Structure 1
Amino acid sequence: MIPVSVYKGKDVALFGLGRTGISAAKALTAGGARVHAWDDNEVTREKAEAEGLTVSDINKMDWQKFSALVLSPGVPFKYPEPHRVVKMAQMVGVPVVGDMELFARAVAELPTHARPKIIGITGTNGKSTTTSLIGHILNKAGRDVRVGGNIGVGVLDLKAMNANSIYVLELSSYQLDLIDSLRCDVAVFLNVSPDHLDRHGGMQGYVAAKSRIFRNQTQADTAVIGVDDMRTQILCTRLAAENTRRVCPVSADMALGRGVSVLDGVLTDSLSGHAEASVDLSSARALPGQHNHQNAAAAYAACQALGLDASEIVDGLNTFPGLEHRLESVGMVGEVAFVNDSKATNAQAAEQALRAYPNAFWIAGGRAKDDGIDALEPHFENISKAYLIGDSMKEFSEVMKGKAKTQNCQTLDVAVTAAYRDALESGIKNPVILFSPACASFDQFKDFEARGHAFKNEVHAIQMDAKKKTKIA
């Protein structure tokens, strides 16, 4: 745990007792604050009490005594409208902060020579893979690295800081909206496409929230920016013109005169203005596809900024095991391969999967995002067949009508069985069954993890059945 003593001896309101809320309450208490924690959900409050927290109904308290409101990132801060506790705080001038801001203030309280290095990673897609990849590379190189934030362990639950430690933090737009003083030694912004727009008042607000990752950087710091979409290209140009930090563009779509790029599976380091290293990514088996090549380029640039040499970085790239539910190879039955990409909750993420596995037997569907799958139309002709499930089944079937073979399956088990049968009968060499839903999971599953595990259970059942048949034969 990282104790937060900035509010020592003061009263702090805290709203939202999920993972980050509980860790923030414990960190503040450890730092000497009087924490008044609340959540509207009774079950959640009971879980917090079981964790040893004292729950207080802040709705009935005098807000003028609070020095801050600590808000969990899932609670609306500005849009579609501020939550009532945010309004209460604003009425009496109580500042609203999140767990990342608490972490930043804990860092700022240390002497300059005792502060850790911080790498922050954001973007619409690829955050978790890039965060884990950077952490893996640094760990493999023998660095004292701690990985968390919006992935895995909450930032304040990570090990206490020292001067040699490196914190690699995934930062969501919700978390970034609540920071003020966080300074990243290396800030990575991968890409941007429409997502969570209701929480940011539209695309402009969403990009502005993501861009806060560069807040407080100095000439000593590095900004790593993916330039494969127009909005991040513009941002990269603006930051370079400001000349207030080192800017490293990365791309998996074009060669860069100065930056890190990947073309045809070969990574080129031209950060110095000419090619310093060339790396064949074919050995990095957990990083297939163009989007993962951008992740690899960003990880390379970030680790290079912290002083790792090319051989250390390449070793990390080649040994990275990948992340569960993100283009995860989950096994084969005969020549049929199964890929679990349950984390693909929007069309942009599914597009990367379809690029990585053309001619796949594609399982898709769930609770559709506002933009649906219209953007995937250029890839429909490269799909062997689509197996549609969930609430979006009829909508997606209409979109794909006349453009690709489809089958309405409604449930995942039916889709996996049908896709496996068709893959066996297709005559295609090494066919791939790709589960990349392009949708949220909440129509049939608790979350994308539960959905991914359900897919893997279906694959396991097919594998066991195939083994039994082999033994009988």
Structure 2
Amino acid sequence: MTPVTVFAGRKVALFGLGGSGLATARALKAGGADVAAWDDSQGSRDKAAAEGIAVVDLNAADWSGFAAFVLSPGVPLTHPEPHWTVGKAKAAGVAIIGDVELFFRERAKIAPGSPVVCITGTNGKSTTTALIAHVLGQAGRDVQMGGNIGTAVLALEPPAANRIHVIECSSYQIDLAPTLEPTVGIQMNLTPDHLDRHGSLENYAAIKERLVAAAEIAVVGVDDEASKQMARRRAAGGRPLVKISGEQPLDEGVFAGVTANQGRLDTRIVEVKDGRPRVVANLAGIGSLRGSHNAQNAAAAFAACSALGLSAEEIAAGFKTYPGLAHRMEELGRIGRVVFINDSKATNADSTEKALTSFHDIFWILGGKAKEGGIESLRRYFPNIARAYLIGAASDLFAATFDDDGRVAYERSVTLDKAVADATRDALARPGEGEIAVLLSPACASFDQFPNFEVRGDAFRKLVAALPGFVPFAAKG
């Protein structure tokens, strides 16, 4: 835990007692603050009270006595309309902040200048966060990883000169962190997302840009126009900038280059300094970093770890042992030449696109509760599909897309267990040589058949593990 001492002896209001909110309340209390916490859920209030956290009805409280108001990132600050507590805080002139802001205020007090890497972007930020933390840890550094990924930031060990914090930041968290000033700030990419919470793409982009604008060293992806503009503004200010790309060569920065090597494609990470390129890592054979999206993630990780003093050799060695994240292009194992991929986190077409570009002979399990647009945007990748297996509520919609296109054979498996059996049967019977994939990448929310994507992915993992002849990758070698 990082006790928050910057509000010691003062009253702080807090709304939202989920995972990060409860961790924040604990950290404030441990630091000597007088916390008044509230949540709409009686269960959450009871859990906080059982830990000795003061539960106070903020609707009836005197807000004039609060030194700050800590809002959980999942609660609307501005759109579609501000939460009622936001109005109370503004009327009383109380600063509205979040847990990441508390972390940076505490850092400024107890360990100013301690190394912190913050990662944001629409896609890839979790993998990049985990990859950076893994590489640093493998190189022997004291690393704490959290934020929007897994552990709440204030549940991590406190900032220290010899400790590196690697923090994934959502747009919600950035919006509540006015003094966010990381050592290395990373902006991966930007596509329309969370517009219901930010009002417009322009507002969403402006919030993301705050992270790199305030960083000592900015690492910015230039594979989309909005992020490219961020890089241009950063460069115009004359402050340290490293451009990254997973798709194109750069005249300066870090990019992924794809070359043919004895019938396979090798992805090399290339660093260009003072106009001089050098290959610093090769991702060939690293299943957890397969695909162009992971090439950009690796480029960002290289730039960040290099900025923190790691050698190219240390970073490349860390890449080779990176295990990947659960449910995100997670390579489970194989039966012969058939590899099984758990990409349950792909809850929309944009996410599934990354998986469909990573393989060329795919037995694709998809479906669930469809998002707007369905899988229409994925038509260009249909030649990579050997056969598709439809599950859940989206089956009729996706079948209509396949019928209209005419290039993808499919069957209605209905349930995940039947889909795994059907896809495995067909994949094992596929003639030829070379790797083929049974891929769960649903392009859908899970809520018609599963409570969340994690449960869906865990179910897929168990079904695959029970297949005759299955060898998990953890058992290899």
Give the secondary structure class of the aligned counterpart of 2:287. Answer: coil
Q: Decide whether the 8 Å contact of 1:64 with 1:92 is kept in 2.
A: yes
Q: Which residue matches 2:284? A: 282
Cα RMSD after superposing both structures: 1.8
1:98-247 correspondence to structure 2 within 5 Å: 98-110=98-110, 112=112, 115-217=113-215, 221-243=216-238, 245-247=239-241
Instruction: State the alpha-carbon separation in 2 of the partners of residues 295 and 180 from structure 1.
Output: 26
Q: Decide whether the 8 Å contact of 1:248 with 1:271 is kept in 2.
A: no
Q: Which residue matches 1:255? A: 249
Instruction: State the alpha-carbon separation in 1 of the partners of residues 117 and 282 from structure 2.
Output: 25
1:419 aligns with 2:423: yes
- Report the alpha carbon displacement of residue 147 of structure 1 after superposing the two structures with TM: 0.7
- Residue type of the partner of 2:303? A
- Report the alpha carbon displacement of residue 135 of structure 1 after superposing the two structures with TM: 0.6
Q: Decide whether the 8 Å contact of 1:277 with 1:310 is kept in 2.
A: no
- Report the alpha carbon displacement of residue 389 of structure 1 after superposing the two structures with TM: 2.1
How far does the alpha carbon of each residue in 1:178-222 deviate from its partner, in whole angstroms, 9 at most, with x for none?
1100101101111111221111112112212211212433xxx21
- Residue type of the partner of 2:462? N
How far does the alpha carbon of each residue in 1:221-276 deviate from its partner, in whole angstroms, 9 at most, with x for none?
21111111222122212211121x21111111111110111111111111332114
Q: Which residue matches 1:409? A: 413
Q: Which residue matches 2:67? A: 67
Instruction: State the alpha-carbon separation in 2 of the partners of residues 103 and 282 from structure 1.
Output: 38
After alignment, is 387-396 or 225-234 more displaced? Answer: 387-396
In 2 relative to 1, CA 398–313 (structure 1 residues): closer, same or farther, beyond 3 Å? same
How far does the alpha carbon of each residue in 1:357-395 deviate from its partner, in whole angstroms, 9 at most, with x for none?
122111122233334322211112221122222332222
In 2 relative to 1, CA 382–248 (structure 1 residues): closer, same or farther, beyond 3 Å? same
Instruction: State the alpha-carbon separation in 2 of the partners of residues 341 and 211 from structure 1.
Output: 29
Instruction: State the alpha-carbon separation in 2 of the partners of residues 274 and 80 from structure 1.
Output: 48
Q: Which residue matches 2:474? A: none
Instruction: State the alpha-carbon separation in 2 of the partners of residues 271 and 368 from structure 1.
Output: 45
- Residue type of the partner of 2:245? S
In 2 relative to 1, CA 239–215 (structure 1 residues): closer, same or farther, beyond 3 Å? closer
TM-score, scaled relative to structure 2: 0.92
Q: Which residue matches 2:466? A: 461
Instruction: State the alpha-carbon separation in 2 of the partners of residues 130 and 312 from structure 1.
Output: 17
After alignment, is 363-372 or 246-255 more displaced? Answer: 363-372
Instruction: State the alpha-carbon separation in 1 of the partners of residues 165 and 422 from structure 2.
Output: 45
- Report the alpha carbon displacement of residue 424 of structure 1 after superposing the two structures with TM: 2.4
1:438 aligns with 2:443: yes
Count of paired positions: 460
Identify unmatched segments of 5+ residues in structure 1: 468-473
- Report the alpha carbon displacement of residue 128 of structure 1 after superposing the two structures with TM: 1.0
- Report the alpha carbon displacement of residue 444 of structure 1 after superposing the two structures with TM: 2.4
Q: Which residue matches 2:375? A: 373
Instruction: State the alpha-carbon separation in 2 of the partners of residues 27 and 251 from structure 1.
Output: 38
How far does the alpha carbon of each residue in 1:311-349 deviate from its partner, in whole angstroms, 9 at most, with x for none?
111111111111111111112234322100111122222
Q: Decide whether the 8 Å contact of 1:259 with 1:271 is kept in 2.
A: yes
Which residue of 394, 397, 417 maps to 2:396? 394
Instruction: State the alpha-carbon separation in 2 of the partners of residues 226 and 102 from structure 1.
Output: 28
Identify unmatched segments of 5+ residues in structure 2: 259-266, 472-477
Give the secondary structure class of the aligned counterpart of 1:282. Answer: coil
In 2 relative to 1, CA 283–272 (structure 1 residues): closer, same or farther, beyond 3 Å? farther
- Report the alpha carbon displacement of residue 428 of structure 1 after superposing the two structures with TM: 4.9
Q: Decide whether the 8 Å contact of 1:182 with 1:215 is kept in 2.
A: no
Q: Decide whether the 8 Å contact of 2:174 with 2:180 is kept in 1.
A: no
In 2 relative to 1, CA 315–386 (structure 1 residues): closer, same or farther, beyond 3 Å? same
Instruction: State the alpha-carbon separation in 2 of the partners of residues 144 and 338 from structure 1.
Output: 34
Q: Decide whether the 8 Å contact of 2:268 with 2:279 is kept in 1.
A: no
After alignment, is 121-130 or 455-464 more displaced? Answer: 455-464
Give the secondary structure class of the aligned counterpart of 1:76. Answer: coil
Q: Which residue matches 2:262? A: none
Instruction: State the alpha-carbon separation in 2 of the partners of residues 187 and 69 from structure 1.
Output: 26
Instruction: State the alpha-carbon separation in 1 of the partners of residues 374 and 68 from structure 2.
Output: 40
Instruction: State the alpha-carbon separation in 2 of the partners of residues 396 and 194 from structure 1.
Output: 23
Instruction: State the alpha-carbon separation in 2 of the partners of residues 182 and 295 from structure 1.
Output: 22
1:304 aligns with 2:299: no
- Residue type of the partner of 1:167? H
Q: Decide whether the 8 Å contact of 1:9 with 1:33 is kept in 2.
A: yes
In 2 relative to 1, CA 186–38 (structure 1 residues): closer, same or farther, beyond 3 Å? same
Q: Which residue matches 1:471? A: none
Q: Which residue matches 2:345? A: 343
1:55 aligns with 2:60: no
TM-score, scaled relative to structure 1: 0.93
Sequence identity, in percent?
48
- Residue type of the partner of 2:463? E
Instruction: State the alpha-carbon separation in 1 of the partners of residues 445 and 205 from structure 2.
Output: 21
How far does the alpha carbon of each residue in 1:64-116 deviate from its partner, in whole angstroms, 9 at most, with x for none?
2222211111111111111111122122221111100010110111364xx41
Q: Decide whether the 8 Å contact of 2:16 with 2:38 is kept in 1.
A: yes
Q: Decide whether the 8 Å contact of 2:37 with 2:56 is kept in 1.
A: yes
Instruction: State the alpha-carbon separation in 1 of the partners of residues 382 and 279 from structure 2.
Output: 37
Q: Decide whether the 8 Å contact of 1:123 with 1:192 is kept in 2.
A: yes
- Report the alpha carbon displacement of residue 410 of structure 1 after superposing the two structures with TM: 3.0
How far does the alpha carbon of each residue in 1:149-186 deviate from its partner, in whole angstroms, 9 at most, with x for none?
11121110101221111100011111111110010110
Q: Decide whether the 8 Å contact of 2:220 with 2:231 is kept in 1.
A: yes
1:95 aligns with 2:95: yes
In 2 relative to 1, CA 51–417 (structure 1 residues): closer, same or farther, beyond 3 Å? farther
Q: Which residue matches 1:470? A: none
Instruction: State the alpha-carbon separation in 2 of the partners of residues 111 and 117 from structure 1.
Output: 9
- Report the alpha carbon displacement of residue 303 of structure 1 after superposing the two structures with TM: 0.7
After alignment, is 293-302 or 384-393 more displaced? Answer: 384-393
In 2 relative to 1, CA 93–348 (structure 1 residues): closer, same or farther, beyond 3 Å? same
Give the secondary structure class of the aligned counterpart of 1:2. Answer: coil
